[in-house]
Every structure is written in C-alpha cells, then in structure tokens.
Chains A and B, each alone.
Chain A
Amino acid sequence: MARSIDIDRRRKAVYGWLLLLPAGVLLSLFAFYPTVATFWSSLFSRGTRRRPSEFVGAENYAALFNDPTFWTVVQNNLLYTAVTIPLSIVIALVMALWANSRIPARSFVRTAYFTPTVLPMIAAANLWLFFYTPGLGVLDQIGRVFGFAPVNWLGQPDTALWAIIIVTVWKEAGFFMIFYLAALQTIPEDLREAADIEGASRWTYTRRIVLPLLMPTTLFVMVNAMINSVKLIDHLFILTKGGPSDASKLILYYIWEMAFAFFDAPRAAAMTMLVLLVLCVVAAIQFFLIDRRTHYQ
C-alpha cells in the first residue's frame, strides 16, 4: 500500500505544480524577474550617445541620496501616508457606523459614501479640478460668499499636497467603509442587547465592544491604505503634476518622471528598489504581526 500512496503523492505534486504553472509563469515575468532586473539595472549608468552604459555599483543610489528633490519627494510621501491612512480609516469607520445604524435615507447615505470608489481616479481629479481652480472654482465661489479671498489651492506649496490628500481620502474612505460594514454585520445582535440591559450607553458599547471587534479589519484596511499611499498617484497627472516646485510630488510619480520623462531608467530603478524595500518591511509586519491575529487562515 505504501507504494500506491507514494504514487498518489507524486501524482498530486505533479498536478499541483501544473496547476500553478500558468500563474507562476506570469508572476515570474511580471513580478519576480522584474524585481531582480530592477536591482541589476540600478547598478549601471545610463547609456547615451557619448558614453555607453557601464557598471557603476551604488553610484545611482548615491546620486539619489544627493538629490534634494528625492528627499522632498520622500518627505511628501511620508506626510501623504501619515495623513491619508488615519484620516480615511476614521472617516470610513464613522461612515460604516452611520450606514449601519437606523437613520433616515440610509440607502442614499450608503450610496453617496461608496460612489467615489467606482470612479476612475483620473475622473475624480477632473471633478476636483473644478473645486480647486482659483477664483473660478467651487471652493472659492463658496469662500466668496463668506468673504474669503480666493485661494490658489493647487498652486501653493502649503496647500497643494493637502489638496491631493483630500482627493485621496475622498476616494478611499468609501471603499474601506465596505470592509467595516462587512465586519459590523458579523457582530451578533445579542451583544448589543446585553449591553442595553447592562445600561451601557451607545458610546460605551461602541468603544468597548464594537471597536475591539473591528480591530482585525482596521489592521487589514491599514495595510491596504499603506499600499495605496504608494500607488495612488493618478490624480497628480491632472491636478498638479507634482508642483509647485515639487511640493506635491510623490515617489511613484517621481519614478515615472525619471524613467519616462527624463529617460534615466537606472536612477528610476534605484528608486524602485528603495520603494520595494519599504514595501517588504510592510509585508513583514503584515505577515508576522498581523496575520497571527486576523482571520486570514
């Protein structure tokens, strides 16, 4: 019998690998190989007519660290991350609590919260352009009613990044709300009844019972938001193009610019490696800290 079990096992292994093959090939082509290739090409100089590409070791990284724009961009992205994540999570949570409670016009409220999620970021940016345009935009028109001077939201270093952040939060919050809604609906009604009997206030109930139960969802949403804070840059193309004077430039936009506008692929590759490194850290946190406690498995 041991023999047939052995054959069965071997057959299963063959099947298993065969089933994984198509996905494996594509993942290798578009994730693993490019990662290695990115690292490799980050070690070479850019080839031009005068000087062909040559091995330069860490020079691209050194150049990057000496590039003040790079540090501006890193700072911008840190701020972007640090603000969009908590802000969109809190708003999403509030939205979910409201959308889950018995209020009038609940379905309208739900739809309204969720709608931005289905819009392309490019379209969203166009909508917001109408808000931000100095003098002519909706914000300034409203401001005028209250006697405020027009503000150049996208044209000032102090406000440009914030304007971008607001669009991101607007786009993200409804999406995250869905996860909270899902989690809220798994909380059994008896908990709430028990709390009522105990005479706990709604606030206490929310704080002591609901929020802890939502913790795994929050962690999941947080990781998502973190990834989004790297990849959600489409609106920059419409709203600010990273300006004024790099005040709203984010790292992925800078990578794109470096590679496709300045044609410096090696420098872009070096930046990509640094981003991947950061993402790896996030991944590690996810795997070793969060997965233990969530319902992933």
Chain B
Amino acid sequence: MNYFAKLGLGLAGLMAATALAAPAVAQTQLTMYYPIAVGGPLTEVVDRIVADFEAENPDIKVNAIYSGNYDDTRVRALSALNSGEPAQLAVLFSIDAYDLIEQDIIAPFDEIVTDDEGRAWLDSFYPALMANSEIEGHIWGIPFQRSTIVAYYNKDKFRAAGLDPENPPSTWDEMVEAGKALTRDGTYGLMIPSTGYPYWMFQALAIQNGKELMSKDGLHTYFDDPAVIEALEFWRSLSVEHGIMPTGTVEWGTLRQAFLEGQTAMMWHTTGNLTAVKEAAGFDFGVSVLPGNVRPGSPTGGGNFYLFKDTTEEERAAALKLIRFMTAPEQAAAWSIATGYMGVSPASYETEALKAYTEAFPPALVARNQLDNAIAEFSTFETSRVRDGLNNAIQAVLTGTKDAPAALGEAQAAAERLLAPYR
C-alpha cells in the first residue's frame, strides 16, 4: 500500500471515528503558530474557534501560539522547527511560500489531499486567493485571513466638503480632485501608509497603472518599468504636488487612529481593519474599492495555512482537519465578521450569518467584490530581501531622498542579483 493510500485510509478512519464520537484514540497534539496583523483582540477569537474544534474532536489537542506580526511568526515557527520543537502547522504570510519551499519545510496540500472530495475542497476557495499558493505545479497554502486593500472614507467630511458621500472617487483623477476638496486645516485628503507594508500599497498603484511587479514564476521583477516608475511618481505627487497627503512616510500602525481622529478624510488600508474601524468610528464612514487609473485593482494580502513537512501521518491528518474546520464556510463567516477579513470561499458568503451581516453592513462585501480585479500579492524567491529593497526604494522616493527612476532602478538591480541564482 503506498503512502497516500495509507494516508487516505487513515483520514477516512479518523473521520469515521469522529462521526461515531468519543473515540478511544490517543490524543494527537498539534502546535500552531499564528499572527494577528491587524487590529482588535483577535487572539480570543482564535482561542474560541480552537476550543470549538477541540470540543468536536476530543482526540486532537491544539496548542495555538500567538507570536506577533507576520515576520515575527515566521521567525518563531522556523525557530521551533530548527530546534526540534513540535510545530505541525502555522498561519504565515501568503507570500512566504517561496521562502518556505526553498527551505524545504512545507508540504504541498495536493499531495496529501488526493481524493475527489479533497480536491473539491481545494477548489472551493476563491481562485484569486489561491494565486499565491500555486507554485511549481503544487498547492502550498490554504487561505485563512485574507484581505485586499480598500479605501475607507469619512462621509461626514465628504458632506462638509460638498462631495457626494455615496459616490467615492473611482479614478486617480477623481481621487486627487476629492482629496483637494477634503484637505483643510488639520485634515489631509488622503493617507496611504508607507511603513510596515509599503510594497503592498505600491503594488496596488502599479496594478492600477497597468503593470504587475513580478512574474508568475517568482523569478523576475519589473521595478524599473516606466508604468511602475510612473505609479511611484504619482504616489509622491500626492504630497508634494497636490498637497493632499503628508510628506514623508505615513505610519501603518497609527494610520487607523489618524483616520478615526479625523486627521485624514480617506485612507487606504487592509480590509482586515474593517471591524476595528466600525467599532471605533465616531462618524459616518464608507468603504470602497480602490480607484483605478489604467485599470482598477488591488493585490490580495494576508495569511495562509501551511503544513510542515516534518510531521507524522496522524499529525498531518489532524492538522488537515483543523485547517478544514477553520476554513469551513461557517467559521470563515464568523472570522470575517470578527475581523473584516474576507470569507475565503464563495460558500462562506452564502451562510446565514454572513448574509445577515453583509446586508446590515454592506462595506463588508467590498473586499470580496474587489477580488475580480485582484492580483497575487508581491512574492518572489528571496522574498524578504527583494521586498526590502523595494520598500526602501518606495520610502526613499516618498521622503524625497531619491527620485523614482533611480530608486526603483537600484531596487531592480538588487533584485536581479538576488534572483539570478534561481533562474
């Protein structure tokens, strides 16, 4: 009997066992590392979901470890693996896939889930959210806390500036126009964060300007393409030319607060902040898809489940079960309501809970609606370092230390150096 057949049998056996309830199986221990990259006391929510799962599966014990932001979590999970501490699965950046593959520590899902039912499950997610997981013909990640960038805007300020609060800008020109009307003493028209994840915001601008930043195989970057340079110049012009955004960088972490305090009338931020904004906003606010230039668009973002390679069959089966539980439509709906992240499958939007929620609060649908125009988040081999080069270029231009062609040219040259060995 080959490995996968055995695994399939094991899985089937496990499922049968749970169906019959209270099995006399020894407990399988799972350790899961996970980050929370956006606002709110979400560790509690995760703990609750895990508790629900354990109640349903008494033979599995899950140790969920909150480990900071995405970068911290990756470091923590890898440290655990290095040290021989148990770690079977983790929620990590969707864009970490290349690095994780390269370090040979994750297992592809398509080799574990081989039956038709499992394949159907793999196909049940939004294709745009799977884009970052599909590498070299395998599926390496399962979408969990996924987002796109959306535009939040302060309807009260729109009214005060004589703009239509139900009609947010849909093109760059309209956005600049509206920004000028909204900028006044103590309030900026727009803030796009440029610390934390500058490459992500920039990717949105580049997509909207008609150019993607990287090739599908993760081997090439196009930082010095004229359309990309133009996108960065546009970002810079928002502050120096149009005066609707502060000069220098805009802090990712404090931006939500700035928006809530009325320091800016519009902000671009992850949809993962939606619930936190909803709960704290003392004014009428709206959410819209990002405006387009050549085309509309946003990168996807957020975290995927990964399964580590060095695991026993039982652990894999149990981990898979946990992942399936946490991404099932009901849980996805609950997670989406608690955070603002997207429901990861079309089915989750068909659940009663999410239906009722989105009806009462339509902004919750914006991120999903944007998926049609969404593109995989920036990711290549040597992602961290290539990305770091890009981040530096962006910040250098926004702070006025370099001009766009020079800065992006340098970032491109650095990326070439890093990627050459992989080609």
Tell whether A and B belong to one assembly. Answer: yes
Residues of A whose CB lies within 8 Å of any CB of B are 48-51, 68-69, 133-136, 150, 152, 154-157, 241, 243-246, 260-263
Q: A136-B254, A150-B246, A245-B391 are in contact. Are A157 and B99 (CB under 8 A)?
A: no
> When the two chains form the complex, which single residue of B99, B250, B251 contacts A263, counting CB atoms closer than 8 Å?
B99
Complex contacts, A51 vs chain B, CB 8 Å:
421
Mark B residues whose CB is within 8 Å of A. 71, 74-75, 78-79, 99, 101-104, 194-195, 246-251, 254, 257-258, 261, 263, 384-385, 388, 391-396, 398-399, 401, 410, 421-422
Q: For the complex, give the distance between the alpha carbons of A109 and B395 in Å.
A: 41
CA distance A156 to B396 in the complex (A): 9
Given contacts A155-B195, A262-B385, contact A133 B75 (CB under 8 A): no
Known A48-B103, A243-B395; contact A156-B249, beta-carbon cutoff 8 A: yes
Flag if A157 contacts B384 (CB, 8 Å): no
Contacts of A134 in B (CB 8 A): 246, 248, 251, 254
Q: How many A-B residue pairs have CB under 8 A?
A: 85
Pairwise interchain contact A135-B78, C-beta atoms closer than 8 A: no
Residues from chain A with Cβ under 8 Å of B388 in the complex: 262
Q: Which of B71, B247, B385, B401 contacts A152 (CB 8 A)?
A: B247
Contact of A48 with B251 in the complex, beta carbons under 8 Å? no
Q: Are B71 and A155 in touch, CB under 8 angstroms?
A: no
CB distance from B184 to the nearest CB of A (A): 14
Q: How far apart sit A152 and B194, CA to CA, in the bound complex (Å)?
A: 12
Given contacts A245-B396, A260-B75, contact A155 B103 (CB under 8 A): no
Q: Are B261 and A244 in contact (CB under 8 A)?
A: no
Helix, strand, loop or mixed for chain A's interface?
A: loop
A262-B384, A263-B78 known; A157 and B422 CB under 8 Å? no
B103 touches A49 (CB 8 A): yes
Interchain residue pairs with CB less than 8 A apart (28): A48-B103, A49-B103, A50-B422, A68-B410, A133-B251, A134-B248, A134-B251, A135-B263, A136-B257, A136-B258, A136-B261, A152-B247, A152-B248, A152-B249, A152-B250, A152-B251, A155-B195, A155-B251, A156-B399, A157-B396, A157-B401, A243-B391, A244-B194, A244-B249, A244-B398, A245-B391, A245-B399, A260-B75
Bound-complex Cα distance A192 to B258 (A): 57
Residue of B nearest to A67 (CB): B414
A156 CA to B78 CA, complexed, in Å: 33
B-side contacts of A152, CB under 8 Å: 246-251
A150 CA to B248 CA in the complex, in Å? 11
**Residues on B with beta carbons closer than 8 Å to the beta carbon of A155:** 194-195, 248-251, 399
Tell me, in angstroms, the Cα distance from A261 to B399 when the chains sit together: 25
Q: Which residues of the partner chain A approach B248 to less than 8 Å between Cβ atoms?
A: 134, 152, 155-156, 244
Q: Which of A49, A136, A245, A261 neighbours the largest number of chain B CB atoms within 10 Å of its CB?
A: A245
Chain B residues positioned under 8 Å from A48 (CB to CB) = 102-103
Q: Which of A49, A241, A244, A263 contacts B101 (CB 8 A)?
A: A49
| Known contacts A135-B258, A136-B254, A136-B257, A245 near B247 by CB under 8 Å | no
| B251 touching A261, Cβ below 8 Å | no
Check if B421 sits within 8 Å of A133, measured CB to CB: no
Query: Judging by beta carbons under 8 Å apart, are B392 and A246 in contact?
Result: yes
Contact B104 A245 (CB under 8 A): no
List of B residues within 8 angstroms of A49 by Cβ: 101-104
Nearest-neighbor residue (CB-CB) of B188 within chain A: A135
Chain B nearest Cβ from A149, distance in angstroms: 9
CA distance A133 to B250 in the complex (A): 10
CA distance A270 to B108 in the complex (A): 35
A-B interface, 6 closest residue pairs, ranked by CB to CB distance from nearest: A155-B249, A152-B248, A244-B395, A245-B392, A245-B395, A245-B396
Q: A244-B396, A244-B399 are in contact. List 13 more A-B contacts (CB 8 A).
A: A50-B102, A69-B392, A133-B251, A134-B251, A154-B251, A155-B251, A156-B399, A157-B401, A243-B395, A244-B195, A260-B75, A260-B79, A261-B384
Q: Which residues of B contact A69 (CB under 8 A)?
A: 392
CB distance from A71 to the nearest CB of B (A): 13
B residues in contact with A243, CB < 8 Å: 195, 249, 391-392, 395
B265 to chain A, nearest CB (A): 14
Task: With both chains docked as a complex, state the minimum distance between the C-beta of B136 and any C-beta of chain A, in angstroms.
Answer: 11
How distant is B405 from chain A, measured CB to nearest CB, in Å? 16
User: Which residue, A154, A244, A261, has most C-beta atoms of chain B within 10 A?
Assistant: A244
A245 and B251 within 8 A (CB): no
CA distance A158 to B346 in the complex (A): 48
Min C-beta distance of B70 to chain A, whole Å: 11
Rounded to whole angstroms, the CA-CA distance of A154 and B250 in the bound complex is 10
Q: Which of A48, A68, A69, A150 has most B Cβ within 10 Å?
A: A48
The distance in angstroms between the C-alpha atoms of A41 and B398, with both chains bound, is 38
Chain A residues near B392 (CB-CB < 8 A): 69, 243-246
Q: List residues of chain A with CB within 8 A of the CB of B103.
A: 48-49, 263
- When C-beta atoms are compared, the residue in chain B nearest to A155 turns out to be B249
**From residue B261, how far is it (CB to closest CB) to chain A in Å?**
7
- Residues from chain A with a CB closer than 8 A to the CB of B384 are 261-262
**Chain A positions within 8 Å of B401 at CB level:** 157, 245
Q: Nearest chain B CB to A25's CB is how many angstroms away?
A: 22
Most central of B78, B79, B247, B249 by chain A CB within 10 Å: B249
B263 partner residues in chain A, CB cutoff 8 A? 135-136
| CB nearest to A238 among chain B residues | B253
Contact A261 B101 (CB under 8 A): no
Within the assembled complex, what's the spacing in Å between the Cα atoms of A48 and B421? 11
User: B383 — nearest CB in chain A belongs to which residue?
Assistant: A262
How far is A171 from B306 in the complex, measured between Cα atoms in Å?
A: 42
Give CA–CA (A212, B251) in the complex, Å: 47
Q: B190: shortest Cβ distance to chain A, in Å?
A: 14
Q: How far is the CA of A49 from the CA of B103 in the complex (A)?
A: 6
Closest to B394 in A: A245
**Residues on the B chain within 8 Å of A262, using CB:** 384-385, 388
Alpha-carbon distance between A262 and B385 when the two chains are bound, in angstroms: 7
Which residues of the partner chain B approach A245 to less than 8 Å between Cβ atoms?
391-396, 399, 401
> In the bound complex, what is the Cα–Cα distance between A118 and B288 (angstroms)?
48
Name the CB-closest residue of B to A68.
B410
Interface centre among B257, B261, B384, B399 (most CB of A within 10 A): B399
B268 → A minimal CB distance (Å): 16
Across-interface contacts of B102 in A (CB, < 8 A): 48-50
Give Cα distance in the complex from A152 to B254, angstroms. Answer: 12
Give the complex CA separation of A261 and B79 in angstroms. Answer: 11
Q: A206 CB to closest chain B CB, in angstroms?
A: 43
Interfacial chain B residues near A136, Cβ < 8 Å: 254, 257-258, 261, 263
Residues of A close to B250: CB separation below 8 A: 152, 155
